[in-house]
Amino acid sequence: MFEIFGSLELMMAEVVLYHHSQGLTDGVKAFAEELRQAGHTVHTPDLFEGNTYATLDEGMDYARSAGFGTILERGIEAAQSLPENVVYAGFSLGVMPAQKLTQTRPGATGALFYYSCLPVEEFGSWPDGVPVQIHGMDEDPFFTEEGGDLDAARALVAAVGTAELFLYPGQEHLFADSSLPGYDEAAAKLLLERTLAFL
């Protein structure tokens, strides 16, 4: 019996989950709790110093005023006290620190990028053997058009054998945040299932 529980414990992941540009919302907290219920350890750094915003535009205005470099550094700093062998995950804006840490901090065991993906060249090269999942909606203009995220995701998948891209039908950006109007229950459930299988 001890051996069984010991092997199960080894399968549990430690995850650093960064919120999106509306802040550490109840929906982000609920997602983290779903991962915890599955047995994983999840850290949710607050990059916005307790602020949450009703709209993407308001959240982005805060990020601009604080400075994207400052937001990124808050994310980097939040991981420094944690073990190196963690999974870095981020929703939209939160992909920025998650991706940088995956590519520059030794020991990453995996990466989960929701609604966003930066060109690998932004932070150097992709670390050997580190698996990554990228999730986004196939008609979300933020993901498919404006920032080139979909192109970056496809390039990452083409270059890295351990990378997967999952596209969901729809136009919503933050579709897995249950506290926001754009929540898509069916897509969010599938995203969670794929996330748990990955972990």
Summarize pLDDT for 37-63 with one digit per residue, the tens. Answer: 999 999 999 999 999 999 999 999 999
Summarize pLDDT for 151-199 with one digit per residue, the tens. Answer: 999 999 999 999 999 999 999 999 999 999 999 999 999 999 999 999 9
User: What region does 171 belong to: left with phi over 0, alpha with psi -120 to 50, or beta?
Assistant: alpha
Q: Exposed, middle or buried: residue 106 (CB in 10 Å: 0-12, 13-18, 19+)?
A: exposed
pTM, full prediction: 0.93
pLDDT exceeds cutoff 90 at 102:
yes
Q: What is residue 38's DSSP assignment?
A: T
Higher pLDDT, 5 or 76: 76
Under the banding of pLDDT at 50, 70 and 90, the label for residue 147 is confident
Domains by residue range for the chain, with CATH: 2-198 (3.40.50.1820)
Instruction: Report CA Rg, the chain.
Output: 16
User: Which pLDDT score, from 0 to 100, does residue 2 have?
Assistant: 39
Under the banding of pLDDT at 50, 70 and 90, the label for residue 78 is very high
Helices of type H across the chain:
2-11, 26-37, 56-66, 68-79, 95-104, 141, 149-159, 185-198
pLDDT exceeds cutoff 80 at 7:
no
Q: What is the mean pLDDT of the chain?
A: 94
